[in-house]
Structures are given as C-alpha cells and as structure tokens.
Structure 1
Amino acid sequence: MSAQVANGTGLDALEKRLAEDLSLLELPAKPWVPERMHDGSTVRDVIIIGAGMCGLAATAKLVLSGINNVVAYDAAPAGLEGPWATFARMETLRSPKSLHGPALGLPQLTFRAWFTAQWGADAWASLDKIPKHQWMDYLIWYRRVLALPVQNGVRMTAIVPAGDLIALDLEGAQTGRVYTRHLVLATGRSGLGGFAVPDFLKDVDRRYWAHSADDIDFTALKGKRLAVIGAGASSMDNAATALESGAESLDLLIRRKEMPRINKMTGIGSQGVVHGMHQLPDAWKWKFVDYTATTQTPPPRGSTLRVSRHANARFLLDCGINSVQEDAGELLIDTTQGLLRYDFLIAATGFSNDFSGRPEFTSLAPHIRRWADGRYTQNMGTPRANLLESPDLGPAFEFRERVPGTCPMLAQIHCFNDAAMLTHGKVSGDIPAVSAGAERLVRGITAALFASDVDTHFANLVAYDIPELQGDEWTDSTPLLKKDTAL
C-alpha cells in the first residue's frame, strides 16, 4: 500500500483522476429540475429505498444526470447495506473480477481501478476472485468518493398517494412523512416479497430452523446435527459456514437426482443480452427464464469444495422433502430417502415476488399488475408460480396498474430490484449489468420529470433573455443599399 501511494498510484491519486474525468465530462450535469413544495416542505425529485449496490448505482446516475434533489434511505447501519457483510456467506464473489459493475462507464470508478491503486498491477494479476468483504469496502468507497446522499438507519413503513406526489412514512434516524415525485425500490434480492418459505416449514417452530438470509448465530450450532435444503450457492455458503463453526454433521438435502453443473446464462453473456433481452417478445423472455430455471444455476466450484472437504458433510441427492415436524426436541424430516433426524435446519429456498405480504406495500399490492394478469399465456411454457408473481413493468421499471385508473402513482414507482428480471433481464440485481440498468432507469425518470414540467421549461425558454450579441458586432448596411438602388 505505502509503495503504491509513494508512486502516486494510491487512492488519493485515483480520486484526483476521477475528479478530472468528471470535470472533462461536465459531470454532475447542472441541476435542471424545478423545485416543488408541498405543505411548506421541499419535495424530493426521487427517493431511493435501499443503498446497496443497485441503490448506489441508481443514486449516482441520478446525481450525475443533474437530478440532485434525491436521497437514498437504508435501514441498515452504514457499511452493512446489502448482503455482503450480513447474509452473504460466501468467501468470494462469483462474478469475474474484471466486470465493471456499478462504475457507470467511468474507468476510474471501477473495482479494478480501486484495487490496483492500493495494491498494484501484480496483485491484480494474481487475484482470482474478489473477496466479498473487499467488494463491500469498494462500495463504501464508491459512496464516499461520489458524495452520494445516503441516510442510514431509516426504514420506510408506508407508501400513500398525495395528489400527483408520493408520500412516504419513515421511522428510525428520520421519522415522519416525506414527499417525492418518483420512488425507486432498490431492495435487492428480497425484492418485493421477502423470504420464500416452503409449505412444510410454515408451522414449524422457528427455534428449529432459519432461512439462509436470516441473521444466524452459527456458534450456537456447534455440535449440532444440521440439514440444509438445496444445491445452490446460498446452500453451499451456509453449509460451509456451519461446518466451519463446528457442526457435528451436516446433510445437504437436494431434490435433484444430479447436481446442476453448467451456468447457462454466463455462457451467453453479452451486450446483446444486456440491451436486447428486455426488447424481446414476452414469449421469448419467458422461454429464456423458464429454461434457466429448469436447468438451474450450479453453485460455484469453490463454494462446493468448501463443503465437501469436510468428512462430516453429506450430499443427499434425489432427496425431496415430504414433511417436517418437531419430535422430542428434534426435527423429524420425512424425505424420499426415508426418515431423517436433525437438531436444526437451514432453508436456502430463495425469495418470493409475492408483495402482498409486506406491510409497507399494503396500499400498492392489490393494484400492481403481475405477469399472471394477462401477460403470461399458456403457450409460453411452464406456469411457474414465482414467475407469474413477477411484476409487469414498464420501460423505466415502473409498475403498471392491474385495473387502469385505480392507482396512478404506480407509474412513478420503479422496481429496480431482483423482481424486475423477467421484464428487464438481469440488470437490476447482479454485478455484470447494473450500470446498464441504472442508465435505463434514469433515462426513464429523466424523461418523465421533464415531461411533467414541460410548461415550466417552455416558460423558461420564452423568458430567457441573455443576449449573445451586444449589437456592436455589425453595421446595418440597409440605408446604403437603398441609396445604391436609387442611382
């Protein structure tokens, strides 16, 4: 680190180069959105809920575009936004280190620039995968170097209409009601619905099981017989963490007869996928997502080896779960491989798009149009419940009404999270294309803000009266012309 700083390639030098690049590009753009007031308070142009990677990218793009009356709220303390320092239990990221992520087309804002500024090109060349804690450190720097307007410890509890505005009720470090013209839900993997819990667990006491995204006390699982549901990345990461914390034994209960091995979407990753997927007919969108759901995404090789190196770990394939019940202080699990007993179970069963269960979305949920509301047709393929629950979004990630006219404010609420995948592709949840997603989102918000204030912008056009010519730049030759004509 010190050698890099001495050579002028430390973070200070990087930040100076970034500032120069921004200046050359005239960024941030000059503010252009007229100020709005409501009940004596300034109305925000945009409020972002969530300050993880997607929330930061959206906030940065808004500010750079001259929409500077914005704020991002996150319920977590500073430095704990998103999954990286909480329920993401992998050792490294899955994504290749070279992806530019949320850099928004600015080379000096990439992870690679941040890393090499501190540890040099040789360290970069020898780096295999990005350690997850280092990715979180990078996002903290990203927020700081761009001076993004983020407020931590603030939770949104309700969304209600207020004329042509959106009113939000807040609690925590900021309380009360605030108003905004547009709302961006950058709520990550949990999207709109939260945890997906299998029916066989819904009546089981929570003392005996946890969801993989819960705040799990792994030290309390030392010496316990554990089961983990699933064969995905989250399953492996939680299983490995439990084994490393001293679990007596651990079984991975895997419904499939074989482990998935090929990451299909990675194989076709391209700018065509990023910018073309959301333009496809609906049948093709469904076909892509349905096929990848059928083939499934394998867990990373490193994560799987992290589990299998433990002699007390078992991979139980073709092991579907019929029922789970408490029995004499234990879990008795009836599987297709017979009855199994455990002390504790971790359900790595993902997340749901069923937004009807979230109290903060109570006013919206009945009105949000889903793919099940006519966009999906039977000739598309398997009617998967989690896809049918997906919101049917507009071109700027905005919600659409199930019944036109019943909830107009949905057009100003943007679903910039994992739930947008079926409509927009993977541009609002994963590292590879988040910059493209943020640009698509902000282009739409920019156009909507300009259109809604078009009267003001035209009035400004008419009122603008600063002359470029002072009147002394030329001589009026008309009198001479008339004299010559007379001759």
Structure 2
Amino acid sequence: MNATTTSHTTGTGLAALEARLREDLAWLELPSPAWVPSRFVEGERVLDVAIIGGGMAGLTVAAELRMLGIDHIQLFDQASAGHEGPWVTYARMHTLRSPKQLTGPALRFPALTFRAWYEAQFGRAQWDALNKIPREQWMAYLRWYRDVLALPVVNDTRVALIEPRADGLWALRLQAVAGREASAVQARTVLARHVVLATGREGLGGPYVPPIADTLPAHLRAHSSDAIDFDALRAKRVGVVGGSASAFDNAAVALEAGAARVDLFIRRSEMPRINKLTGIGSPGLVHGFQHLDDEWKWRFLHYSAQSQTPAPRDSVLRVTRHAQAHLHLGSPLLGATVQGDEIALDTPKGRYVLDYLIFATGFHSEIDTRPEFASIAPHVRRWRDRFDPGPQLANDELGSSPDLDTQLAFQERVPGSCPSLGRIHCFNHAASLSHGKVAGDIPAISDGAQRLARGIASMLFDADRELHYAALQAFDKAELFGDEWVDADADAATATSRPAVTNES
C-alpha cells in the first residue's frame, strides 16, 4: 500500500477507513523503503520470499514483510481469488469460534481490524449487537485486507515441487489448477531466497482418515475437508465419525439438507467440555512458549490434545435440535462392510446401516506424504528424531512435528545434507510444538507473522552483509560541508610555525 500524507480523516464508510489507514501508515513511515539488494538469475529477478498459501496466515506474513521493506515477494494459492483458506470452502459453521473482538491479522493497526472494517459499513450499533462473526463476512474482510494492502497473490496456481539449488536458492515449479484460466503459469518455475509454507490446518500433511476408510469405496465416504454435495444426501442415512466442532458442523449441514438420519460416532465415552488452552491464553503464552524447554512444550500440547477442544455449544445445539440426529458415545469403529451402495458399520454399541460416511477426523503432519515436498522431506528433522517423551506421553502426531529453529525454519536431520533447508519456514499448524499456536489461529496470527518476518529480515541482511558493508563504505552524502566552523587551534598552530621577526633589515 502506498502511504501518502493526508489530513486527519473524518467520515464513515470503507473509503474513509482506507484514508485513515493511509494516514496511520504515513505517520509511522510505513511501509519502510525497500532495502534488500536485487538478485537476478538468467535475467529473471529472484523473489526475496515466496509464500505458499494466500489465506489469512500468508496474507499476514506478506503484509508484515512489506512493512519491513521486503517488497519483492509473491504469494501462490491453488484456490480461485476470494476462496483461499477454509472459510467459504470446507468450513461449515455459521460463525467463527473466536470472539469477535480479537484483532487477528491487523498487525496492531486499528484501521486493519475486522471491527474497523465492520463498523465502517454497518455502524457501531450493529457491532455491539453482533454476537460472533459470520464466516462469510470474515472471508469478505480478508478479501478487503488483501486489496487495501495490495498484496501480490497469484491464484489458481499450485506449487508442484520445491527443489534446492546448488546456489542456495529454491526453485518452485508452478502448475495451473486444472479447469481454470491460468495458462500463463503452466510449467513455470520461479526462484526464491526464502520460502514460507503458509498452508493452514493441513500444514505439511493432509486430511487424516483411519485405516477403515480405505475399505470403503470413494463415492460412499468423504473427509470433512472435502467438497461434499450435501444436497445429494437428502433422505439418506449419514454417519459422521468424530466429536470435534467439524464433526458437528458437517452433521448439521447434512441434517439441514434433509438427511433422513444422521449418526455421530464418538470414540470417547464423555464429550469434552472445557477448552483448556483458553484458560491460559495470554501474551505470556504467545511469547513464552517458544522459550520453554522441550519437555515442557511437549507436556503442554500433549495435555491439550488429550483433553481435546470441545465443540462450541451452538454447534452441538445446531445438531441436537433435529429429531433424526443420534449421538453415540463410546463408539469407536470396529469394522465396516459394503453391500451394494450401503455401508454396514460396526461399533461396540451395535451395527448401523448407512448410505454415506463422513470422517471428521482431523489432519496429520507427515511431510513425506506430500509430493511437492519430496526433495526436502528426507532431510527435515522431526521431533521424534531427537526427543523421546516416554511411554506416558507418547503422541505420534506431536512426534511427526518438524523441529523448527527460532526463525520457524526447518532443521536438517543429518547436518550438511541440505544446508538451504534453513530458508524454508513452516508457518502453519505444524509449527505449534516448536513455537506455540502462532501460525494459523486467529488470536496470535499477527504475533507469529511479526516473529517470522523479523527473522527473515535478519537472515536477508546477514546473507548480504558484504553488499551492505560495501554500501556503507561507498555512501558519501555529506551532512556537513566544512564551512560551518573555524578550528580555533589552527591559527595558533600557524602562528607558532612562522619564522621569528627581528629588527635587522
């Protein structure tokens, strides 16, 4: 965003808010002037930072990099413009779960908050009356955020492969998403000095389904993150596996679409009721977690995972108000058989005949399951490679987390095997064990983005230290011209050096 000095902004509406934002940035002298030396390879400008993912996390990092004067960046997202992230794709709740007042990606700029955006359009009274943020409005806000800051996102584009080069740069092979007008990026490769993986909840892996899912034909099952034709489930018997918020959201949409019956199968014998991490949420947690020793990091997240996050009350009531909804606690899946287009699902409570089964079973972080990471996955050090929590705290999901450094960058499993790995930064859910919940959730996304952007800035400066030192030596803009003073001792020194005067003539 080009910040220009304006008079104090008054008025209402988005135009007035955007003018206020320009003024705020101008007063803070932001964005900083570009300072990273340009680098070219075969006539092509190398990106300072390539960001994979144009959702909330990617946008926030890009905005902070721009504020710090790192301006040759690019974001790539496989979704079409305005559909990045989960908000209008597989997120199926009515509203966000976070409180409306959280500042999210605003980077401490009041005019960038959702509240400022909302009040500019609908007024203070409607803000006061708002309970939680409708997810479609959150997506509209993120679209505005991207536009008002002029963040460079390339849509309909997936990164097919990330490869290290001998010169320390990273090559990103880009592909157009099939069926969309993006022919200009087909088979294109871009080079970048740093890569940020802002890949959301999927992180480094993808949707997790239990092994029993592999026994079912694809047309009879789905993961909750899939595109599901809920209208096709009208008058059908639908099963949902899981007790998370996502499980209840998907069950609710199936019921609202007219499903004849929906059964939720929950492994636990009791529903979790308390969101434990909410109880200790504070700046101390945000900034202190990364400095804990390994054992304490593991203990915090293991306890949180074992306690589980309860589904919001509204999400549960959205399901249970339907007479055809049935909740089965203590019901892990024991087996499944298929007869024609019916699934016979066995649990300790009995057998259930279904027409469709949705697995709301979360995500995994196994980096070696993603083809685009094939060249780096063997080199990435995971927590399980160096830390043993003991049998009482065993947790495969935590063990597969990447062991990140202070700049949220990967580290080598075998030192020297891939030196440039330290310039790939993991800014997604998989960073939680190393850095806490700062890389994907709304509450601390700005803190995480600032941590990462400052780390990249320091690394770029260090990498170009010889160029910056040469610039220091070459700088010759004088602030004093030599005519501002007279050296009082110069005349005295001149007088003593003159030959003595005698009376001889």
**TM-score normalised to structure 1 length:** 0.97
- Name the residue aligned to 1:470: 481
The aligned counterpart of 1:164 is 168
Give the Cα–Cα distance (whole angstroms) in 1 for the partners of residues 54 and 468 of structure 2: 31
From 11, 15, 23, the equivalent of 1:20 is 23
Q: For residue 386 of structure 2, give the secondary structure of its aligned residue in structure 1.
A: helix
SS in 1 for 2:481: coil
Q: Contact 1:333 / 1:340 at 8 angstroms: preserved in 2? A: yes
Q: Which amino acid aligns with 1:101?
A: G
Q: Which structure's CA Rg is the greater one?
A: 2
Q: Does 1:237 align with 2:249?
A: yes
Specify the alignment match of 1:337 in structure 2: 349
User: For the Cα contact (< 8 Å) 1:375–1:392, is it kept in 2?
Assistant: no
The one-letter code matched in structure 2 to 1:192 is: L
Cα distance in 2 for residues equivalent to 1:150 and 1:124? 30
Matched with 1:366 is 378
Q: Which amino acid aligns with 1:168?
A: L
Partner residue in 2 for 1:179: 191
Aligned residue among 358, 362, 366 for 1:346: 358
Partner of 2:53: 50
What percentage of residue pairs aligned between the two structures are identical? 53
Corresponding position of 1:395: 406
Task: Give the superposition deviation at 1:366.
Answer: 1.0
2:76 maps to 73
Matched letter for residue 234 of structure 1: S
Secondary structure of 1:140's match?
helix
Q: How many angstroms apart in 1 are the aligned matches of 2:378 and 2:101?
A: 42
CA distance in 2, matches of 1:482, 1:354: 78
Q: 1:107 aligns with which of 110, 119, 143?
A: 110
Alpha-carbon shift at residue 329 of structure 1 (Å): 2.1
Does 2:219 align with 1:216? Answer: no
1:256 corresponds to which residue?
A: 268
- Which of 305, 308, 318 pairs up with 1:306? 318
Deviation at 1:484, TM superposition (A): 6.9
1:430 counterpart = 2:441: yes
Q: CA deviation at 1:463?
A: 0.3
Residue deviations 1:119-156 (CA, integer Å, cap 9, x gap): 11111111110000000000000001101111111110
Partner of 2:201: 189
The SS at the match of 2:207 is coil
Q: What's the offset of the Cα at 1:356? A: 1.0
Question: How far is the alpha carbon of 1:204 from its aligned partner?
Answer: 1.5
Corresponding residue of 2:429: 418
Shift of 1:413: 0.3
Task: Write the distance in 2 (CA, Å) between the matches of 1:79 and 1:483.
Answer: 77
Answering whether residue 416 of structure 2 is matched by residue 409 of structure 1, we say: no
Counterpart in the other structure of 1:4? none
Residue ranges of structure 1 left out of the alignment (5+ in a row):
1-6
Bigger mean CA offset, 7-16 vs 450-459: 7-16
Cα distance between partner residues in 1 of 2:113 and 2:490: 64
**Are 2:125 and 1:122 aligned?**
yes
The residue number in structure 1 matching 2:466 is 455
Post-superposition offset of 1:485 = 6.3
Deviation of the 1:169 alpha carbon: 0.4
For the aligned residue pairs, the C-alpha RMSD in angstroms reads 1.3
Q: Structure 1 483/47 Cα, relative in aligned 2: closer, same or farther at 3 Å?
A: closer
Compute the displacement of 1:325 (Å): 2.1
SS at match of 1:375: coil
Give secondary structure in 2 for the equivalent of 1:246.
coil
* Equivalent residue number for residue 11 of structure 1: 14
Post-superposition offset of 1:478: 3.0
Instruction: Tell me how far 1:477 sits from its aligned partner.
Output: 2.8
Task: Supply the AA of the counterpart residue of 1:436.
Answer: D
Q: Counterpart in 1 of 2:4?
A: none
Count of aligned positions: 480
Do the aligned residues in 1 keep the contact of 2:203 with 2:428 (CA within 8 Å)?
yes
Shift in CA distance, 479/356, structure 1 to aligned 2, threshold 3 Å: closer
Query: Which residue is equivalent to 1:3?
Result: none
Secondary structure (helix, strand or coil) at the match of 2:206 reads coil
- Following superposition, the deviation at residue 328 of structure 1 comes to 3.2
Spell out the pairing of 1:282-297 with structure 2 (5 A cutoff). 282-297=294-309
Q: How does 1:372-387 map to 2 (within 5 A)?
A: 372-378=384-390, 381-387=392-398
Amino acid at match of 2:50: I
Distance, in Å, in 1 between the alignment partners of 2:341 and 2:122 is 52
Unmatched 5+ residue regions in structure 2? 1-9, 177-181, 501-505
- SS of equivalent to 1:465: coil
8 Å contact kept, 1:58–1:442: yes
- State the secondary structure of the residue aligned to 1:369: coil
